[in-house]
Amino acid sequence: MSDAALAVRGLTVHFRVRRGLVGSRVVRAVDGVDLALGPGETLGVAGESGSGKSTIARSLVHLTRPNGGTITLGETDVTSLRGAALRRYRRRMQMVYQDPYDSLDPRMTVRDAIGEALAVRGLSRDRRPGEVARLLSRVNLPDALAARYPGQLSGGQRQRVSIARALAVEPDVIICDEAVAALDVSIRAQVLNLLKDIQRDTGVAYLFISHDLSTLRFVADRVAIMYVGRVVEHGPSLELFAEPLHPYTRALIAAVPSVTARGTKRLHLAGEPPDPANPPTGCPFHPRCPEAIDECRRVRPELTVVGPGRSVACHVAVRSFRSPRSAAEPSR
Amino acid sequence: MNHQSRRAETTPIPTDVDARRDPVVELDDLSVAFGSGSDEVEVVRGVSLRIERGQRVGLVGESGSGKSVTARAIMQLLPAPGRVSSGRVLIEGAVASPRGARRWRGTTVAMITQDPLSSLNPLVRIGAQMTEMLRHHRGLSRAQARAQALELLEAVGIPDPPRTFRQFPSVLSGGMRQRVALAIAISCRPRLLIADEPTTALDVTIQAQVLDLLEAMSAESESAVLLISHDLGVVANFCDTIVVMYAGRVVETGTTDQILDETAHPYTLALLASVPSMGGDLPERLASIPGSPPAPGVVTPGCPFAPRCPIAQDRCSREAPALVGPPGRSVACHAFGDASWPRPVSVGGAP
């Protein structure tokens, strides 16, 4: 596997949506997002629905054409690849979806589904059965499953097959878009452990998209929190969850129901995420923010570096870092 | 009444059944089967459950554990070819049947589901759906029903009730739809509200809002709630009593504190351990349960959890353990209480 790292700069994806009979509006699904992913690393992307996290994933695998920004894999700018070059690139970046039903052909056996990916890698026909067996054992599935169809597998087995299929082309990066969200708790733990084992053995990097913060805390090295198309906070996973800086991150963490924190009052975050076609002025979070000041209503905060690997897009949080008195205690 | 005092009230479990309050709904050895003859598949097996007025019961289990089928059996809404193969459902003491369900469905027992679109008519405006319910069940006039519907929409936190009243379900966000479904469900002040994965499709901040609302509604009208969820965190935060199901059977019951602090069944223990935590040290690996749950209807002679159980003995694969313990606190596990049990537990009255 090469030393390629994924770098996304200023990624912007706008959709034009029709309103009524004549008018149309622009939805800024992703609005100037920077992400970087090193080899063998896991970057978690969290956010609620409409935050743009899946649109990023779709842009990375060229299912959605970005309006601006660049995507670099290793040394190659892959933003506007076409034809054979695009096909070569696709091998290096694979995607595992929430529902393997969406990505596995129901009329193809497990052997054929993985074999197809091996053909893409250019493996000769006679070497494929052995490689299918190796990949299945890599994802802890018995070889006997190779003859089955996706419909004959359990949800957990299907997700393992799609992981095996993604691994078949020896990618540099696997994008896991809510890859464990549909799995039962006991199966989810197995698959998360498996993904970590695979990373340790192959050095593959994961871009792990999830709305589930406790999953991200376990699986990700760094986490980016998104809100309405932008990254609002970014930092090393454990630090970010222990000491969130953005009021939105704090609200998200507080809203996670946990068996250990039972009996504590759920935090009230009023309202819903804004309509991305019509975001509020200033900071898009200000209508829901318990700490909003006047500046938040007028000026949109930029993502600002406030510590090693840590950045936040919040006037109040950045200010508390700038003032020397409170710098020692960043989360107030 | 707040959450704490309610829980304190239900914690001491009277062993004398007669001394307890009247149940709203009672399941008596309920089994549900799909198909017939040699194709018969039993997906719920011998479930007994008692839900009292104002109680908040959590039904926890993974997919295929039979929790949603149990809910539909209570509502007498089993999808064909499902049927109650043995046992019975009692609604306020009377045996429930699909034919007589019109008398209590929606009024005594109401249900909201994971996807409110499945219970809302997509072609009828929200207002019409609400007033229909209020006029039919509560005999209100058109004007009264309209006023009441607007009040309910306001109560569930809809920002602009008159506007939503005129809208169709499809234009609302998931959180708003679930609020509307909740408003309709509580409009007839049910004595039991069944909430089947009500927040699973919602974002975590919206989930917290909907749970708060459910809590306020149940406290205000003294409705009991049966909250069905795969998420132990949600259930632990909301319910005073928890019932854990596995492969169609109840494997453990107890108060929330008992289930979490004095966990008795190895499956419950494994389930608790496999959820990644939001604090503390990060484990290199998550505790996981090997294998997967049996396919629905696969009946083995022994304990259904035995193939995945870390402390299974020979006996476990031969004979199924019975659910034992005092009312409200029970466990179905051979090992429970004997020397092979991995951790000290204290459950009053268990053998």
pLDDT confidence of residue B127? 94
Q: Domain for residue A332, yes or no? A: no
∠ Cα B339 B344 B346 (to 5°): 110
Segment A293-320, tens digit of pLDDT = 999 999 999 999 999 999 999 999 999 8
The answer, yes or no, to whether residue B198 has pLDDT greater than 60, is: yes
CATH of domain B24-103+223-274+291-340: 3.40.50.300
State the Cα–Cα distance between residues B193 and B181, nearest whole angstrom: 12
Helix (H), strand (E), coil (C) string for chain B: CCHHHHHHHHCCCCCCHHHCCCEEEEEEEEEEEECCHHHCEEEEEEEEEEEECCCEEEEECCCCCCHHHHHHHHCCCCCCCCEEEEEEEEECCEECCCHHHHHCECCCEEEECCCHHHCCCCCCCHHHHHHHHHHHHHCCCHHHHHHHHHHHHHHCCCCCHHHHHHCCHHHCCHHHHHHHHHHHHHCCCCCEEEEECCCCCCCHHHHHHHHHHHHHHHHHHCCEEEEEECCHHHHHHHCCEEEEEECCEEEEEEEHHHHHHCCCCHHHHHHHHCCCCCCCCCCCCCCCCCCCCCCCCCCCCCCCCHHHCCCCCHHHHHCCCCCECCCCCEECCCCCCCCCCCCCCCCCCCC
Question: CB–CB of B196/B113 below 8 Å?
Answer: yes
How many interface pairs between A and B have CB atoms less than 8 angstroms apart?
A: 130
Q: Confidence band (pLDDT; 50, 70, 90) for B40?
A: confident
List chain B residues with CB under 8 Å of A274: none
Q: Confidence band (pLDDT; 50, 70, 90) for A102?
A: confident
pLDDT confidence of residue A16? 86
Q: Confidence band (pLDDT; 50, 70, 90) for B50?
A: very high
Segment B312-346, tens digit of pLDDT = 989 999 999 999 988 789 999 998 877 666 554 43
Distant-in-sequence, close-in-space partners of B284: CB < 8 Å, separation ≥ 6? A196
A268 touching B (Cβ < 8 Å): yes
B126 touching A (Cβ < 8 Å): no
Q: Confidence band (pLDDT; 50, 70, 90) for A326?
A: very low
B positions 2-31 inside 8 Å of A (CB): 3-4
B38 touching A (Cβ < 8 Å): no
Q: Which of A180-184, A327-331, B199-203 has the highest mean pLDDT?
A: A180-184
Segment A113-123, tens digit of pLDDT = 999 999 988 99
A196 compared with A274, residue with greater pLDDT? A196
Q: Is the pTM of this model over 0.90?
A: no
The answer, yes or no, to whether residue B13 has pLDDT greater than 80, is: no
Question: CB–CB of A45/A208 below 8 Å?
Answer: yes
Q: Confidence band (pLDDT; 50, 70, 90) for A1?
A: very low
List chain B residues with CB under 8 Å of A266: 208, 211-212, 237
B287 touching A (Cβ < 8 Å): yes
Chain A nearest-CA residue for B283? A218
Distance from CA of B144 to the nearest CA of A (A): 29
Chain A nearest-CA residue for B158? A271
The answer, yes or no, to whether residue B8 has pLDDT greater than 60, is: no
pLDDT confidence of residue B278? 84
Give all strands of the β-sheet with B330-331 in edge-to-edge order. B109-112, B192-196, B224-229, B56-60, B241-246, B249-255, B330-331
Segment B254-305, tens digit of pLDDT = 999 999 998 999 999 988 888 888 888 888 888 888 888 887 777 788 999 9
- Three-state secondary-structure class, residue A234: strand
Q: Confidence band (pLDDT; 50, 70, 90) for A132?
A: very high
Segment A250-294, tens digit of pLDDT = 999 988 887 776 655 666 687 778 887 888 999 999 999 999 999
Average pLDDT of the residues in B155-159: 84
Q: Domain for residue A331, yes or no? A: no
B positions 186-215 inside 8 Å of A (CB): 203-209, 211-212
Distance from CA of B228 to the nearest CA of A (A): 14
Q: Cβ of A185 and B233 within 8 Å?
A: no
Helix (H) or strand (E) holding A164: helix A155-168
The answer, yes or no, to whether residue A191 has pLDDT greater than 80, is: yes
Segment B94-115, tens digit of pLDDT = 999 988 888 898 889 999 988 8
Distance from CA of A79 to the nearest CA of B (A): 31
Question: CB–CB of B244/B252 below 8 Å?
Answer: yes
Q: Confidence band (pLDDT; 50, 70, 90) for B17?
A: very low
Q: Cβ of B207 and A211 within 8 Å?
A: no
Q: Cβ of A185 and B275 within 8 Å?
A: yes
Q: Cβ of B175 and A272 within 8 Å?
A: yes
State the Cα–Cα distance between residues B264 and B219, nearest whole angstrom: 30
State the Cα–Cα distance between residues A285 and A274, nearest whole angstrom: 8
Task: Report which residue type is found at B79.
Answer: P
A22 compared with A304, residue with greater pLDDT? A304
The answer, yes or no, to whether residue B25 has pLDDT greater than 90, is: yes
pLDDT confidence of residue A210? 92
> DSSP label at A104?
S
pLDDT confidence of residue B323? 92
Least confident of A19-28, B32-41, B228-237: A19-28
Q: Confidence band (pLDDT; 50, 70, 90) for B7?
A: very low
Question: Looking at residue A103, which CATH number applies to its domain?
Answer: 3.40.50.300
The answer, yes or no, to whether residue B57 has pLDDT greater than 60, is: yes
pLDDT confidence of residue A45? 96
Q: Which of B231, B288, B290 sits opposite A257 (nearest CB)?
A: B231
A217 touching B (Cβ < 8 Å): yes
Q: How far, CA to CA in Å, does B142 sit from each of A107, B138, B152, B168, B240?
A: 54, 11, 15, 19, 39
Segment B115-149, tens digit of pLDDT = 887 788 899 999 999 998 889 888 899 999 999 99
The answer, yes or no, to whether residue B15 has pLDDT greater than 60, is: no
Give me the torsion for CA of A274, A276, A277, A279, rounded to 10°. Answer: 50
Q: How far, CA to CA in Å, does A164 sit from each of A123, A134, A141, A208, A299?
A: 15, 9, 10, 17, 47
Domain of residue A112 covers 6-322
Q: Which of A112, A125, A87 is nearest to A164 (CA)?
A: A112
In percent, the amount of chain A with pLDDT more than 70 equals 93
Domain count, chain A: 1
pLDDT confidence of residue B131? 93
What is chain A's Cα-based Rg? 21
The domain segmentation of chain B, as residue ranges, is: 24-103+223-274+291-340
Segment A152-175, tens digit of pLDDT = 888 889 999 999 999 999 999 999
What are the phi and psi torsion angles at B290 (to 5°)? -65, 155
The answer, yes or no, to whether residue B11 has pLDDT greater than 50, is: no
The answer, yes or no, to whether residue B3 has pLDDT greater than 70, is: no
